[in-house]
A = this chain, B = another copy of it.
Amino acid sequence: MLRDIQDCFISEKEVEHIHAMSLRVLSEIGVAFEHEEVLEVFRKNGARVDGDKVFLSEAMVNDALKTVPRNFEVYGRNGSVFIGPDREDPFPVMANSAGLVTYIETDDTVHKANVYDAIKYHKLTQTSEVLQMSKASSIDYPGLGNDKENKILKQYAIQLKYSDKPIASALRTNPHNVGTGRIKDGVLASYDLVKRYYDIWDKYVVLEVVCPLSPLSNNYECLENVLGAAAGNQPITICTCSMTNVTSPPTLLGTIIQDNASILAMTVLIQLLNPGNPIIYNSLSAPSDMRSVQLSIGASESFLLSMATLGMARFYNMPARTIGAYSDAIDVDYQAGAESMLTGMAPILGRSDQLTHAIGTMGSFNYGSFEKFVLDEEVLLYLKRVQQGINFSEGRECFDLMKEVGPRGSYIQRRTPKAYREEHYLSKLFHRKGSGITMREQVGTLRSRAAAEVERRLEEYKLPETTKAQDAILNEVLVNLDYDI
């Protein structure tokens, strides 16, 4: 690709205008931070604070932006991922979806999330050629023990057991899963578990995510997570998720400006707490469909909002995260395919640096599907090929071959050339065997092929090897569970 797709949708002038308007929001409207310790940090550093509203100057924003690193590296048990615009491979570093409350089985029944769904997603992630990071697909499902225990720690332990890929966290620590202690300490306990398990002490080991609320506010729980991540010196994705006309203005531009102001305010806080702390710029904001007042993550406007996210992140010189293969469909159907391709195109052709919820999500973030997981992989591999573009290098003209074959000749008589194999992505699951009238009976449905692929992957899956010390660490945490894992 010659240039990123967002160049088709947002100009430098427009990016600058959004920045200027965001500065006005920060100085004239302010952002709420519902946490006294945080307000004190702002006060100490010269911000005007009125109640829990913080007003920020351009100088404070500029100072913060100066210390945000352009790239960083997150370590797993067996390797690391490099995240940022200087990454050589333009295909984003991706993790599976998270926050799924319901799963659709192959037989089309639906059920509330449980530990086995989460484990199946870990196994599919571990065996995925498109995902380089692991993420907990559901959180706080039943059976994790009594309320006095730190249940987040157990969920980290499950993730560590089933995948050795670097962790993109979706395990938001909250008053209901942290046990008896403070949220911030629960966050730090999680990092400590991961570091002990890896025996890695001086690297980034958890890509954290925090979600400012829209409009322009941050609650106590979110800020405790921020304080934990900054104290633990782990990279933080700042993820806004506004709904147009509900929690953000009715226009896309207004939504972009409000989100950008939120992200900048959080950036200032993080850099004040821990200068140089890596940050990923991220908005998952999406349009509301006002007929049902539902978030429409697979919509056209979702794509457009991502174009702005990429434009702003590039302007600030920060790594970008955007939407992935999203859909509002509640079946593995035509809509799921169409919307996943549309929303997957934004980050791949926009060369986003990192994605979570990249695959396996539908129903406006609520539904998981094992078949959609592997079908979304296919969509991303299609898009990877599109991202590679046309090979214009010398020799690819095939002039001599064209002359040899000549008018009316055939190219097929010879061995399939290397150039063909290099330039063609041959799909794994999508049908390409032709269209005779009996073909449908011969090949079965796409859904059944996807289910077979899921089955194959789960059968081939092997638990990552562990040391005795690692087993001991997990066994210490994985107690009082209502199920065998």
**Min C-beta distance of A114 to chain B, whole Å:** 13
In A255-299, which residues have CB < 8 Å from any B CB? 256-258, 287, 289-294, 296, 298-299
Name which residue of chain B comes closest to A216, CB basis: B407
Complex CA gap A331/B375 in Å reads: 15
Q: Are B367 and A435 in contact (CB under 8 A)?
A: yes
Q: Are B435 and A363 in contact (CB under 8 A)?
A: yes
Q: Are A402 and B29 in contact (CB under 8 A)?
A: yes
Residues of B contacting A292 in the complex (Cβ-Cβ under 8 angstroms): 432-434
In A409-425, which residues have CB < 8 Å from any B CB? 409-412, 416-417, 419-420, 423-425
| Interface membership of A356, Cβ < 8 A | no
Complex CA gap A334/B382 in Å reads: 14
Q: Are A420 and B251 in contact (CB under 8 A)?
A: yes
Known: A215-B406, A215-B408, A292-B433. A423 touches B252 (CB 8 A): yes
**Min C-beta distance of A326 to chain B, whole Å:** 12
Q: Are A398 and B294 in contact (CB under 8 A)?
A: no
Residues of B contacting A338 in the complex (Cβ-Cβ under 8 angstroms): 337-338, 340-341, 375, 378-379, 382, 430
Complex CA gap A485/B364 in Å reads: 46
Name which residue of chain B comes closest to A435, CB basis: B363
Q: Are B425 and A300 in contact (CB under 8 A)?
A: yes
Q: Which of B216, B246, B407 contacts A215 (CB 8 A)?
A: B407
Residue with the highest number of chain B CB atoms closer than 10 Å, among A251, A289, A296, A446: A251
**Min C-beta distance of A84 to chain B, whole Å:** 21
Complex CA gap A330/B4 in Å reads: 33
Complex CA gap A420/B419 in Å reads: 49
| Interface membership of A474, Cβ < 8 A | no
Residues of B contacting A28 in the complex (Cβ-Cβ under 8 angstroms): 403
The count of residues in chain A whose C-beta lies closer than 8 Å to any C-beta of chain B is 131
| Interface membership of A399, Cβ < 8 A | yes
Residues of B contacting A332 in the complex (Cβ-Cβ under 8 angstroms): 334
Residue with the highest number of chain B CB atoms closer than 10 Å, among A254, A332, A334, A420: A334
| Interface membership of A472, Cβ < 8 A | no
**Min C-beta distance of A24 to chain B, whole Å:** 7
| Interface membership of A164, Cβ < 8 A | no
Q: Which of B215, B386, B396, B408 contacts A304 (CB 8 A)?
A: B386
Complex CA gap A74/B445 in Å reads: 42
Q: Are B299 and A382 in contact (CB under 8 A)?
A: yes
Q: Would you give the 0/1 interface string for A11-26, flagging 1 where the beta carbon is closer than 8 Å to chain B?
A: 1001001000100110
Q: Are B335 and A399 in contact (CB under 8 A)?
A: no
Q: Are B21 and A11 in contact (CB under 8 A)?
A: no
Residues of B contacting A324 in the complex (Cβ-Cβ under 8 angstroms): none
Q: Which of B246, B248, B253, B445 contacts A391 (CB 8 A)?
A: B253
Residues of B contacting A142 in the complex (Cβ-Cβ under 8 angstroms): none
Name which residue of chain B comes closest to A296, CB basis: B432
Complex CA gap A372/B426 in Å reads: 24
**Min C-beta distance of A12 to chain B, whole Å:** 10
Known: A299-B382, A340-B338, A383-B300. A435 touches B308 (CB 8 A): no
Q: Are A402 and B258 in contact (CB under 8 A)?
A: yes
Name which residue of chain B comes closest to A291, CB basis: B426
Complex CA gap A308/B216 in Å reads: 44
Known: A29-B402, A345-B345. 9 other contacts (CB 8 A): A2-B10, A14-B390, A17-B392, A253-B397, A300-B385, A333-B447, A338-B340, A339-B430, A341-B342
Q: List 19 A-B contacts (CB under 8 A).
A: A2-B11, A7-B8, A9-B389, A28-B403, A53-B407, A215-B407, A216-B402, A217-B408, A249-B401, A250-B420, A290-B424, A292-B434, A294-B433, A328-B431, A332-B334, A334-B336, A336-B337, A337-B337, A342-B345
